[in-house]
Structure 1
């Protein structure tokens, strides 16, 4: 219920062009409320901005059961189609960031790679999420429950970030007829999702 209310509020705010406010917590039984409060169960609401600093969406994170999290997102103003959508390691969203390996501006490079404390490969990173589908008008919504991380893991000293990419995420699923040796290193890191077009800091 809390997640549904948060998404509905975000949709209304985005549709009307108003700056969304943090969603209210839904009523709950006293015991459940106390447990959630003690374990970071209140919703976390994150504004997502593009490279110009314009708000293009909101992410809502909510504890789901004992060991899972519900990740809900609403966006506007993106290009139609699928977009890679992940949690990244650092809560720094600098649209003018420079990739030291190339010396070139690489928006939101400061957010680091996919959140992955266990050292896996894509699409097995803890921060991997299903691709985000946007309609012809550039709007989209999605909600997914994951047990790959707990909310408190995303709010350590340097936080984390949600990143929306320019291109679809192939989830490193490259059939052998196209790549007999399997996906290459770049695909195993990012799913060929392209540049980072929007970012939100999770604290």
Structure 2
């Protein structure tokens, strides 16, 4: 039985959608059985806060990003702040871009895994960045257009 002593790694290469210039790479590391750390850099954003979510479908093919589906919520529930009692597992809050449009991301996501299977696995799902700040209102936070999308793909070589 593999206890995954070294942890699992995954990557999401963000591509611009909805006519934006947003791009970046996010690295995901499983650092215990139920927490994943997302780190990386995103460029081409407008300065300020941007909604940041895991979406249910690992598909970024549509020009507006709608192919990524809704927020990842295997247990249902309502949209909210990640620190709040009620929220989807895919509700990651906001990232903040500096005056140059760059956001350095470091977000710890409890309750998810990088396993290839399992109810709370986020492998082959999408990370989406929105044009506006997530105000944590239900159903989706009023974050505006989807401006970047990247499919979470497990790293085969385990190098970062």
TM-score bracket for the superposition, by shorter chain length:
0.7 to 0.9
Shift of 1:55: 6.6
Matched, 1:90 2:57: yes
Cross-structure match for 1:166 = 131
Cross-structure match for 1:192 = 142
Shift of 1:190: 1.0
Give the counterpart of 2:122 among 149, 154, 167.
154
Shift of 1:165: 0.2
Change (3 A) 1:54 1:82: closer
Query: Aligned equivalents of 1:154 and 1:168: distance in 2?
Result: 23
Shift of 1:128: 0.7
Query: Aligned equivalents of 2:40 and 2:72: distance in 1?
Result: 18
Q: Which has the larger radius of gyration?
A: 1
Give the counterpart of 2:79 among 101, 122, 132.
122
The correspondence of residues 57-68 of structure 1 with structure 2, limited to 5 A, is 57-68=24-35
Q: Secondary structure at the match of 2:100?
A: coil
Q: Does structure 1 conserve the Cα–Cα contact (< 8 Å) formed by 2:52 and 2:93?
A: yes
After TM superposition, the score normalised by the length of structure 1 is: 0.64
Cross-structure match for 2:101 = 138
After TM superposition, the score normalised by the length of structure 2 is: 0.80
Shift of 1:163: 0.2
**Shift >6 Å, 4+ stretches:** none
Q: Does structure 2 conserve the Cα–Cα contact (< 8 Å) formed by 1:48 and 1:57?
A: yes
**Unmatched 5+ residue regions in structure 2?**
81-86, 116-120, 154-160
**Unmatched 5+ residue regions in structure 1?**
1-33, 97-106, 173-187
The structure, 1 or 2, with the larger RCO (C-alpha pairs under 8 Å, 6+ apart) is 2
Query: Aligned equivalents of 2:136 and 2:22: distance in 1?
Result: 27
CA RMSD, Structure 1 to Structure 2 (Å): 2.0
Number of aligned residue pairs: give it. 140
Shift of 1:62: 0.5
Q: Secondary structure at the match of 1:92?
A: coil
